[in-house]
Structure 1
């Protein structure tokens, strides 16, 4: 790999079955199964939080800190939507991610999708990385 890692962001709309989108236990299980399926190592989490408010803003957020980086989702049951962000320095298959969401909610439509190669200028040499970090650091 000639870059640091890949970041997959998705917006899933028209969610077929929204019941699990407002269920802490279901989302905790899902996040564990998702990162296991894509071969990542959990360092912390899953952590699930609730966003209260009007229906267009109410939902759940779930995040897992990974040895390889992170995975996060934001659910909006009333809007039948999920936002997804998976960033990893270890390669993963997008098809596995999509399959896990099908298992969670059934049918959905991908209304936004971005796969970004992150860190293409990331130095492989630790000495060079330290120099780069030091040169860009704002004195505090």
Structure 2
């Protein structure tokens, strides 16, 4: 691998170089905080800080949709990519994507989820991008 490519794919997983780590979480049965734009804005900021990422500006966040598809969508840009949420008001569910070319801990993501939203269940999948 060339030096430039090694610098670009600097994250190591199972002895192989990767560009980034992508965590996808499904959080079901969250607390009523999931309905608050202010609380979800704070969630995005704290998530970025706690997984040791550098935030790039303020989160962009809004509630929209119709009927059973109404919810909040938001993104916190980070120097190494983004943290994205989509929620469902009716069921109090949230779908979270954390993608970064800097490594982070799944346990920290789960702790922030529990601290902010107390979901009844959380499933996470972690992928490594080449």
Q: Same fold (TM over 0.5)?
A: yes
Residue 69 of structure 1 corresponds to 81
Question: How do residues 1-140 of structure 1 correspond to structure 2 at under 5 angstroms?
Answer: 1=12, 2-15=17-30, 17=31, 19-54=32-67, 56-111=68-123, 113-118=124-129, 120=130
Question: With structure 2 as the length reference, what TM-score do the two structures score?
Answer: 0.83
Q: Rg larger in 1 or in 2?
A: 1
Structure 1: which 5+ runs fail to align? 121-140
Gaps of 5+ in 2: 1-11
CA drift at 1:44: 2.7
Deviation for aligned residue 1:22:
1.8
Match of 1:43, SS state, is coil
| Counterpart Cα distance in 2 of 1:44 and 1:108 | 31
- Between the two proteins, the alignment pairs up a number of residues equal to 115
Normalising by structure 1, report the TM-score: 0.77
User: What RMSD in Å do the two structures reach over aligned CA positions?
Assistant: 1.2
Distance in 1 separating the partners of 2:117 and 2:90: 14
CA drift at 1:10: 1.1
SS in 2 for 1:44: coil
Runs (4+) off by over 6 Å: none
Q: Provide the C-alpha distance between the structure 2 equivalents of 1:13 and 1:21, rounded to a whole number of angstroms.
A: 11
